Chain A
Amino acid sequence: MEQRTALDKQGYIQRNLLDKKDFSLKGFFLQWEWMLVIILIAVMMINASLSPYFLNYASLRDGTMIFMDKAYIVFPMAMIMILRDIDISVGSTVALSSVVMATMYNSLGVPMELAVVICLAVGALCGFINGLLIVKFKELSAVIVTLGTMILYRGIAYVILEDQASGNFPEWFGFFGWGYVFGIPFILILFIIMAILFGFLLHKTTFGREVFAMGKNPTASRFSGVKVDKIKIIVFTLAGLMAGLTALFLASRMGSTRPNVATMYELDVIAMAALGGVSTAGGKGRIIGTVIAVFIIGYLQYGLGLINIPAQTLLIIVGILLILAVAVPKIKLPAFVKRK
């Protein structure tokens, strides 16, 4: 070290740049995720004190099954927000893909296995259209494009099913929403698998690195050879695909579907991502944070439901949570809440 500073004074010296980071215990505990863990514990404790039924395995398990469906969309939504965009059409995408699936099965006699695949395909297609429009018409923002498709997709669902419900799915289809594997809900297992997949995709692959680069500086990314259009389309398509998956779980859990399902899912999803530490200014966010945030918001809603707080109050609470989640980092607070 001393030698290096001495050489510095003489001018041109081949420097030795450090290429390893020291592990800092303080830095490790200064991460936003720890804050989230504390919030989650607080939520659990409050719920447990409000309702004696909350803290037992069956209750927690059922609660998870209820809020878990929309949680799948959080991962691609986090990516979209890292890209500095937003997608408010995901709720409509869920509705459209589930309606198409139900109609295929009930009215057109398509086998359910195929209808499930079609459901996912419709979701992916919706997302792909969003991505394509955003990339081809760069003058428009993602807000306006997905606002348009949000109405359009919901509208198509209404055209297909009008105000009917469509159900009568085969028995095995109920497994998505109600099935267990080794006593653990299937929906939770798949969620964890997805979290790991998306975690690797975002944090360990070139694709993820390029997503972060685009969020920080889209122009420089383009000049560095990142295929910005392609990445954007893929990310939006993933959001559609996950919305299709959500549609499966939702239709399975409810036993039927109708055009007005999943209304305002986008709000919950955006709130989960924002609370999970994904910055609306782009370029920042981690999957682990969004996973914890999913449980915070999910258990909060479930717990309040247990003590008979009406759904309308939950609307208010999610709204306030979303505002707090995006506003808190903007207000200067003591260092320990500062996000990494």
Chain B
Amino acid sequence: MSEYVLELRGITKKFPGVKALDNVHFKLKAGEIHALMGENGAGKSTFIKVITGVHAPNEGEMFLYGEKVQFANPKDAQNKGIAAIYQHVTNYPDLSVTENIFMGHEKVHKTTKRLRWKEMHAEAKAILQDLGSSIDPKTEMGSLSVAQQQIVEIAKAISTKAKIIIMDEPTAALTARESEELYKITERLRDQGASIIFISHRFEDMYRLASQVTVFRDSRYIGSWGVNEITNDQLIVAMVGREITQVYPHKKNKAGEKLLEVKNLGKMGYYADISFTLNKGEILGLTGLVGAGRTEVCQSLFGITTYDNGEVYLKGQKIRVRNPKEAMNLGIGYLPEDRQLQGLVLDWGIGRNITLPALKDLSSKGWLNEKKEASLAKKLAEKVNVKANSIFDLVSSLSGGNQQKVAVAKLLTADLEIIILDEPTKGVDVGAKSAIYEIINNLAAQGYGIIMISSEMPEILGMSDRIVVMREGRITKVIDKKEATQEVILEAAMSEIKEQVV
């Protein structure tokens, strides 16, 4: 038997037009927690799908306990004891917890094929209790919290008797305390003999759990180290490919008079008591864990959702935005987090995408002036430096970074004063990232007030003039650039347990 329970060699996976994985390697030892790290778009998710049999690789070999294997479908992988807990919880909200756990490997009577509910309920209950959870297995999945659903997913992995468990960013939507629960469960699984691949963005996850870390970048294998062998800085270099300090452009903006003031904003179930100000020419970083309510606050400011209480003042004037059009007329623009779903019409050309918010200005009495439209689209696309041949090129054919530039160009059509950017560099490669930072900085220098939501610590630290930290729907800290360090922000974002002790 080999030393490794799972080994992948030279895996390449191509999709039409893209190489999602390019000759990557991976070795998993028995009973270890192995962190797999890399930026968005580094190929981690595709890699997981290769291991679990969702995608078949174009090249390369996979060895399980030293034996060469090939999976035709997810079922094959499951039968060999591999289970995955995906980033987006993939379950059946209308079905019971038990069914979610046993879907695909139900217990049935040998001859009649009748489902053995009693046994399944009992086993589900036993597994959940073993995980320290008292969820009733007959509950409907959809009525559980995200953290509870995560636990059910783990229970599902256990119920398949999986020896290799893959967790794809399981902590992304969890609070600090919920994450801690998850860490404990993960360690327990390891102690019981499972080998775990833990994918995460968060360094704290890695330091807390893993003994080995492998890094992918731009669909390639970069290296694998023991957690003790590599420093934080080295790891960042491995992930982003260059010194992090180089990425941020020299700042030339200056904060001016007060532009926006938010007072005690609240929305039931999402956020409460949100107060902050934004000045002209300022970049205000808004950070916190995913699910802290950052996006919800900004979407309320932009009129996508409403708020229940509180007030918003624009240049001293009280405003109440009811829909995005009103927000844009008032000079507030929003760059959504999910480009593909919220930002762009993917199978439209660049030009049509850019002019969509500005059709009114490009028309007289409703008649569209296509000449005017084309020239505006051309001007803005060139301004943000989109790499393409013509403004008719489909947005779906562009890279993530260039798509994001198109989305930014859309904002520039309107006469804005405030620009809200929600994770502006998510899924964007390193080169395009600095181009986007350059654009943001230029905007600030021109006097726009900018709110930038980001989960990436270096980005927040490198770009913001002031930083607002949110946790579980509330602002926990507002930090000036000079005092901001990674530690201060992290503490504000997730330190509830410490605070309680104090």
Q: Name A's B-contacting residues (CB within 8 A).
A: 12, 14-21, 204-210, 213, 216-217, 219-227, 283
Contacts and interface: CB of A to CB of B under 8 A. Distances in A.
Given A17-B386, A210-B359, A224-B357, A219 B367 contact: no
Interface stretch (B139-147, B165-173, B339-347, B470-478): B339-347
Interface stretch (B35-43, B205-213, B372-380): B372-380
Contact of A225 (B347, B357, B366, B377): B357
A15 B387 contact: yes
7 contacts: A15-B382, A18-B392, A20-B374, A204-B368, A216-B346, A216-B348, A220-B343
Contact of B378 (A19, A210, A226): A19
A216 B347 contact: yes
A206 B370 CA distance: 10
Contacts of B385: 12, 14-15
Contacts of B375: 19
A223 B382 contact: no
Contact of B336 (A12, A15, A18, A223): A223
B356 A18 contact: no
Q: Which of A14, A204, A223 has the most CB of B within 10 A?
A: A223
Contact of A227 (B325, B343, B391, B435): B325
A224 B389 contact: no
A205 B368 contact: yes
B334 interface: yes
A21 B371 CA distance: 12
Given A223-B304, A223-B336, A17 B391 contact: yes
Contacts of B324: 222-225
B217 interface: no
Contact of B351 (A12, A19, A219, A222): A19
Given A12-B385, A223-B342, A19 B374 contact: yes
Nearest to A215: B345
B335 to A, nearest CB: 9
> Could you say which interface size class chain B belongs to?
35 or more
A217 B407 CA distance: 14
B363 interface: yes
Given A17-B389, A17-B390, A220 B363 contact: no
Interface string B382-409: 1001111111100000000000000000
Contacts of B388: 15, 17
A199 to B, nearest CB: 13
Nearest to A205: B366
B421 interface: no
B356 A14 contact: no
A225 B387 contact: no
B14 interface: no
Contacts of B389: 17-18
Contacts of B325: 225-227
Contacts of A17: 350, 378, 381-382, 386, 388-391
Given A209-B368, A216-B348, A223 B334 contact: yes
A193 B374 CA distance: 29
Q: Which of B341, B359, B363, B366 has the most CB of A within 10 A?
A: B359
A216 B352 CA distance: 12
A226 B435 CA distance: 29
Nearest to A227: B325
B328 interface: yes
B415 to A, nearest CB: 13
A315 B197 CA distance: 60
Contact of A18 (B327, B362, B391): B391
Nearest to B335: A223
Given A18-B390, A19-B391, A206-B363, 11 more contacts: A15-B382, A17-B389, A19-B390, A205-B367, A217-B344, A220-B336, A220-B344, A220-B345, A223-B324, A223-B336, A225-B323
Contact of B345 (A206, A213, A225): A213
Contacts of A223: 304, 324, 334, 336, 342-343
B410 interface: yes
A222 B382 contact: no
B341 A217 contact: yes
B360 interface: yes
Contacts of B374: 19-20
Q: Which of A16, A17, A205, A213 has the most CB of B within 10 A?
A: A17
Given A12-B385, A217-B346, A206 B390 contact: no
A221 B348 CA distance: 12
Contacts of A227: 323, 325
A17 B405 CA distance: 14
Contacts of B345: 213, 216-217, 220-221
A14 B382 CA distance: 7
A204 B345 CA distance: 19
Q: Which of B324, B327, B387, B410 has the most CB of A within 10 A?
A: B324
Given A17-B389, A206-B368, A227-B323, A220 B342 contact: yes
The list of the 5 closest CB pairs from A to B, nearest first, reads A18-B390, A206-B359, A19-B378, A19-B374, A225-B325
